Amino acid sequence: MRKLSNTNQVDFDKNEGLVPVIVQDVNSGTVLMLGYMNAEALEQTQQSGKVTFFSRSKSRLWTKGETSGNFLMAKDILIDCDKDTLLVKAEPIGPTCHTGTDTCFDEENDSNTLFLDHLTQVIKQRRQGDPEKSYTASLFEKGINKMAQKVGEEAVELVIEAKDDSEELFLNEGADLLFHYMILLEAKGYSLQDIIKVLQSRHK
């Protein structure tokens, strides 16, 4: 988890020792809930990895999920420009709201497409790796022709599995195709964001 390097930068004095905390799903980008932290709650969150708030109604620290088991596992903590609001990116373990809904705003949280942004960064990093230790790096070393060929092979395998009824094989071949397509995009100097822009322009 990326932590705030200096918790002293948070201005807890503006609101009697508390700052609002927006919790966002690290994979989907969906806003899960709003809570409040004091300095102690922030410290405990960073140490335990479980999002901990200061409960204004109970006047004590409160770890989300301490009774239900539906914890929020903190992955990143950011501070706003005024130093008085925190954004916690977390992985929810189960529903976030005490009512049983995915979020406290009664929204469904069933998308994890932001993982593709993470995967894009992983591909960029592994491109510079040792080809003998990294499959991704080895593809870049072989060049565009080999990468394009691999995308074609994966596409054919997906078509073949589409004609059968194995969900596992079909989805795995789809994942292989997408992964190798993302590698080809990186090699050409593009990303999925560029493809999305094309799709958006067609949707107008």
pLDDT of residue 144: 97
Question: What pLDDT band is residue 24 in, cutting at 50, 70 and 90?
Answer: very high
DSSP 183: H
Residue 1 predicted with pLDDT over 90: no
Where residue 167 falls (left for φ over 0; alpha for ψ -120 to 50; beta otherwise) is alpha
pLDDT, residue 202, reads 95
Q: What is the predicted pLDDT for the residue at 3?
A: 74
Give the closest residue to 99 by CA, choosing from 40, 165, 33, 39: 33
pLDDT band (50, 70, 90) for residue 148: very high
- In the predicted structure, residue 7 carries a pLDDT above the cut 90: no
Per-residue pLDDT at 134? 97
Which pLDDT score, from 0 to 100, does residue 15 have?
A: 86
Percent of the chain scoring above 90 in pLDDT: 90
Q: What is the pLDDT of residue 42?
A: 96
Write the pLDDT tens digit of every residue in 160-191. 999 999 999 999 999 999 999 999 999 999 99
| Tokens representing residue 88 in the block | 């916690």
Considering only CA atoms, give the Rg of the chain: 22
The residue-averaged pLDDT of 5-33 equals: 91
Distance separating alpha carbons of residues 49 and 86, to the nearest angstrom: 15
According to DSSP, the residues that pair with 88 across neighbouring strands are: 23, 77
The burial class, CB within 10 Å (0-12 / 13-18 / 19+), for 196 is: exposed
To which CATH superfamily is domain 115-203 assigned? MazG-like (1.10.287.1080)
Domain with CATH 1.10.287.1080 in the chain: 115-203
Mean pLDDT of the chain, nearest integer: 95
Asked if residue 37 lies in contact with residue 45, where contact means CB atoms within 8 angstroms, the answer is yes
pLDDT, tens digit, 9 for 90 and up, residues 103-133: 999 999 988 888 999 899 999 999 999 999 9
The end-to-end CA distance of the chain, in Å, is 39
Q: Is the dihedral of CA 162, 166, 168, 173 positive or negative?
A: negative
pLDDT given for residue 8 in this prediction:
79
Q: Determine whether domain 7-92 maps to CATH 3.10.20.810.
A: yes
CA 191, 196, 199, 200 torsion: positive or negative?
A: negative
Question: Start-end ranges of CATH 3.10.20.810 in the chain?
Answer: 7-92
Q: In 10 A of CB 8, how many CB atoms?
A: 10
pLDDT of residue 204: 75
pTM: 0.77
Residue 73 has what pLDDT?
Answer: 97
